[in-house]
């Protein structure tokens, strides 16, 4: 044997085969690790968008599915509708999110969409709200104090339940980078595919879909999160595309009428703008409960058939002070001066006192104004206010000083005070009345209305009405105390009504065209001092006989001008609720040609 072979043989050791370590059995790996390993596999942004859209359709659209089931009745009717709407919801969400299907910096945006969907679902389930542009505009003007009343542990829990899973998935998911052009054409393809599939499904089921959507307009604002994103975008972007509005003067030429020439005392008119009060919960209007004993004792006039301009403060308050009326106001191209401007231009002392954190919605911008919490003594503020949110009684404190601070030469002609209440603002109705004014117990003591029985909810709301009654009674007493120096009067009317569970609806803000009557039917109350009715030449019997006459917010502007004897071309006697009860045969401010010009300008 060759030496080399012998050496090799002598020193050769048996080969040892080393096997790789055996992988643990699949069943031995915890499920969460297997799921996590699956999640961390590379995926395209488009697959994430599709997955997220399906998730939101299934998890965040229960209000829509419930409403479809309620409308359909039998499962054989509503299940096809739910399937079709689910497909359209998925396709619509995919089409929207396809615009964000990029590989960098999109995860926070996707998570934000999930949070928006969770919050919208909470409010739709809890209050049966719909995410239309009007509701979103109102929400965007809600300040911290009003928003705080809407916060609850239920909201937090729902947001956590809806967002926890997608938050984990998005955090762990890997999206490999891709070229910009390559992403762009794939995103466009996904968008076109989603739109084509939705269009095909809608055409195939048009016979069922068209009448469903036409007869139930609210459904389109329940598609989550599309409705919220669309409505918020419409509200946010509208100013960018709208032309700059100019302020059209209305107050020019306003003068005080003949009654001021030889007046013994100047008029003192208090206009109280209520909040969220329902006409059918006023004892004065036949409500079974005695919610308005203070007003009844003061022999006020209460009109029974009055309707608001809108179903939320943002829509109603500017409209009710406008000379245009609801139709022209909503279709206006420019802004117009309002009742406050006209009264001030005529020479009267005008003052707006607000107890709503959201303010006067622009109505008081050009006249003296303040908030109820301003200038309150610390002890009084501590007793009546929670931060800057106060009970309405705060507006009655220091009122003599506020009156005395107005210009003396204007006070000598007459004074118009406007008080904007917190009223019955929900959902925290229990906060709108002081402990000594709570007559109906037990009351709902939470803003999570689903936790309360209907009786407790109504008790809390009725306590707020009873508190408004007491507040108005005290305001009338203050006016009576001024009778030696002024001829006082008071007019109260609410900005809109409220739903308390009727038809499954809560709060307010449903689009006016299909809002329930309780969100539009409002109380309107008037009181005259000892000499004011005679000064205005009003027949008490005539006014009492006309309390069932239908009125709207359109009447406010002209009724106040007529009562205050302010002469201006924008006054329309036919809209003055008191004109027919003046002892004179006709009002000196009947419809003038300038009225028609103003109305035509608003309609163009």
Average pLDDT of the segment spanning 479-488: 95
Average pLDDT of the segment spanning 253-261: 94
Are 362 and 440 contained in the same domain?
yes
Average pLDDT, the chain: 87
Are 214 and 95 contained in the same domain?
yes
Sign of torsion, CA 141 147 150 155? positive
So what's the pLDDT on residue 151? 76
Q: Is the pLDDT of residue 604 over 80?
A: no
More confident of the two residues 146 and 247: 247
Are 305 and 440 contained in the same domain?
yes
Are 441 and 540 contained in the same domain?
yes
In a domain, 23, yes or no: no
Are 328 and 397 contained in the same domain?
yes
Percent of the chain at pLDDT > 70 equals 89
Are 373 and 422 contained in the same domain?
yes
What DSSP string runs through 276-287? S--GGG-GGGT-
Half-sphere exposure of 24 (CA within 13 A, CB side): 6
177-223 pLDDT, tens digit per residue, is 888 899 999 999 999 999 999 999 888 887 677 667 766 778 888 99
Are 216 and 352 contained in the same domain?
no
In a domain, 356, yes or no: yes
| Confidence bin at 243 (pLDDT 50/70/90) | low
Helix, strand, coil content of the chain in percent (nearest 5): 55, 10, 35
So what's the pLDDT on residue 20? 54
Are 399 and 360 contained in the same domain?
yes
Range of the domain at 319: 266-603
Single out the residue in 222, 238, 254 at which a domain terminates: 238
Single out the residue in 221, 238, 255 at which a domain terminates: 238
* Global confidence as pTM: 0.74
Are 233 and 275 contained in the same domain?
no
- The answer to whether the CB of 533 falls within 8 A of the CB of 562 is no
Are 221 and 341 contained in the same domain?
no
Are 176 and 286 contained in the same domain?
no
Report the candidate in 340, 321, 256 with the shortest Cα–Cα distance to residue 555.
321
Average pLDDT of the segment spanning 490-517: 90
Q: What residues have CB less than 8 Å from 434, skipping those under 6 apart?
A: 391, 393, 467
Question: Which residue reads 């009557």 in tokens?
Answer: 517
So what's the pLDDT on residue 142? 67
So what's the pLDDT on residue 111? 94
In a domain, 260, yes or no: no
In a domain, 407, yes or no: yes
More confident of the two residues 8 and 27: 27
In a domain, 6, yes or no: no
17-38 pLDDT, tens digit per residue, is 445 555 555 567 787 778 778 7
Are 281 and 396 contained in the same domain?
yes
So what's the pLDDT on residue 4? 41
Q: Is 449 exposed, middle or buried (0-12, 13-18, 19+ CB in 10 A)?
A: buried
Measured distance CA(486)–CA(434) in Å, rounded: 31
So what's the pLDDT on residue 242? 60
| Confidence bin at 9 (pLDDT 50/70/90) | very low
Which helix (H) or strand (E) element contains residue 151? none
Say which CATH number the domain at 305 has: 3.40.720.10
* Paired tokens of 87: 């497909």
Q: Is the pLDDT of residue 291 over 50?
A: yes
In degrees, rounded to 5, the angle at the alpha carbon of residue 580 between the alpha carbons of residues 579 and 581 is 90
So what's the pLDDT on residue 185? 93
In a domain, 61, yes or no: yes
Average pLDDT of the segment spanning 228-250: 81
| Confidence bin at 94 (pLDDT 50/70/90) | very high
Single out the residue in 188, 222, 238 at which a domain terminates: 238
In a domain, 448, yes or no: yes
Average pLDDT of the segment spanning 313-337: 95
Most trustworthy range by pLDDT among 66-70, 135-139, 306-310, 499-503: 306-310
Whether omega before 427 lies within 30 degrees of 0, making that bond cis, reads yes
150-171 pLDDT, tens digit per residue, is 778 888 898 999 999 999 989 9
So what's the pLDDT on residue 139? 73
More confident of the two residues 231 and 579: 579
Measured distance CA(460)–CA(294) in Å, rounded: 19
In degrees, rounded to 5, the angle at the alpha carbon of residue 161 between the alpha carbons of residues 158 and 162 is 85
Q: Is the pLDDT of residue 7 over 70?
A: no
How many folded domains does the chain comprise? 2
511-527 pLDDT, tens digit per residue, is 898 889 999 999 999 99
In a domain, 194, yes or no: yes
So what's the pLDDT on residue 144? 66
Percent of the chain at pLDDT > 90 equals 63
């Amino acid at each position: 044997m060759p030496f080399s072979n012998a050496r090799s043989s002598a020193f050769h050791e048996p080969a040892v085969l080393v096997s790789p370590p055996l992988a643990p059995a699949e069943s031995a790996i915890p499920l969460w690790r297997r799921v996590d390993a699956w999640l961390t596999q590379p995926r395209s942004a488009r697959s994430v968008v599709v997955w997220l859209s399906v998730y939101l359709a299934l998890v965040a659209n229960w209000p829509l599915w419930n409403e479809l089931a309620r409308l359909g009745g039998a499962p054989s009717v509503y299940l096809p509708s739910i399937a079709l709407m689910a497909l359209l919801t998925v396709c619509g969400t995919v089409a929207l999110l396809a615009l964000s299907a990029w590989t960098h910096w999109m995860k926070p945006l996707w998570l934000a969409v999930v949070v928006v969907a969770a919050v919208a679902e909470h409010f739709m389930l809890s209050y049966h709200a719909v995410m239309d542009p009007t509701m979103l505009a109102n929400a965007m003007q809600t300040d911290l104090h009003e928003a705080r009343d809407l916060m609850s542990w239920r909201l937090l829990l729902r947001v956590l339940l809806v967002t926890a899973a997608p938050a984990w998935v998005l955090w762990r998911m890997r999206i490999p980078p891709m070229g910009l052009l390559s992403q762009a054409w794939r995103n466009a393809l996904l968008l076109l595919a989603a739109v084509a599939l939705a269009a095909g499904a809608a055409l195939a089921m048009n016979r069922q879909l068209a009448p469903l959507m036409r007869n139930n307009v609210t459904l389109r604002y329940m598609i989550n999160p599309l409705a919220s994103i669309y409505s918020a975008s419409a509200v946010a972007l509208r100013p960018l595309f709208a032309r700059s509005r100019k302020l059209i003067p209305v107050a020019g030429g306003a003068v005080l009428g003949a009654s001021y020439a030889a007046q013994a005392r100047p008029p003192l008119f208090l206009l109280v703008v209520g909040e969220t009060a329902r006409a059918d919960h006023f004892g004065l209007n036949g409500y079974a409960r005695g919610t308005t004993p203070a007003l009844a004792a003061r022999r006020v006039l209460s009109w029974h058939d009055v309707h608001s301009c809108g179903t939320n403060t943002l829509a109603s308050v500017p409209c009710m002070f406008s000379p245009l009326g609801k139709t022209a106001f909503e279709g206006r191209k420019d802004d117009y001066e309002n009742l406050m401007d006209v009264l001030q231009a005529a020479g009267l002392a005008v003052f707006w006192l607000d107890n709503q954190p959201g303010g006067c919605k622009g109505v008081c911008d050009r006249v003296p104004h303040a908030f109820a919490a301003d200038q309150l003594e610390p002890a009084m503020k501590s007793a009546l206010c929670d931060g800057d949110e106060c009970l309405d009684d705060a507006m009655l404190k220091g009122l003599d000083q506020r009156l005395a601070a107005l210009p003396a030469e204007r006070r000598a002609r007459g004074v118009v005070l406007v008080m904007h209440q917190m009223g019955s603002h929900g959902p925290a109705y229990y906060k709108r009345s002081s402990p000594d004014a709570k007559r109906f117990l037990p009351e709902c003591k939470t803003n999570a209305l689903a936790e309360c029985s209907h009786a407790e909810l109504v008790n809390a709301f009725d306590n707020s009405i009873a508190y408004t009654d007491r507040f108005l009674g005290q305001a009338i007493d203050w006016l009576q105390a001024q009778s030696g120096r002024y001829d006082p009067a008071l007019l109260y009317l609410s900005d809109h009504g409220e739903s308390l569970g009727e038809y499954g609806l809560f709060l307010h803000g449903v689009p006016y065209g299909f809002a329930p009557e309780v969100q539009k039917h409002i109380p309107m109350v008037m009181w005259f001092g000892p000499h004011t009715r005679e000064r205005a030449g009003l027949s008490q019997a005539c006014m009492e006989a006309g309390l069932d006459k239908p009125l709207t917010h359109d009447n406010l502007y002209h009724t106040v001008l007529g009562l205050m004897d302010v002469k201006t071309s924008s006054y329309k006697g036919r809209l003055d609720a008191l004109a027919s009860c003046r002892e004179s045969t006709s009002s000196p401010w009947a419809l003038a040609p300038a009225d028609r010009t103003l109305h035509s300008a608003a309609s163009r």
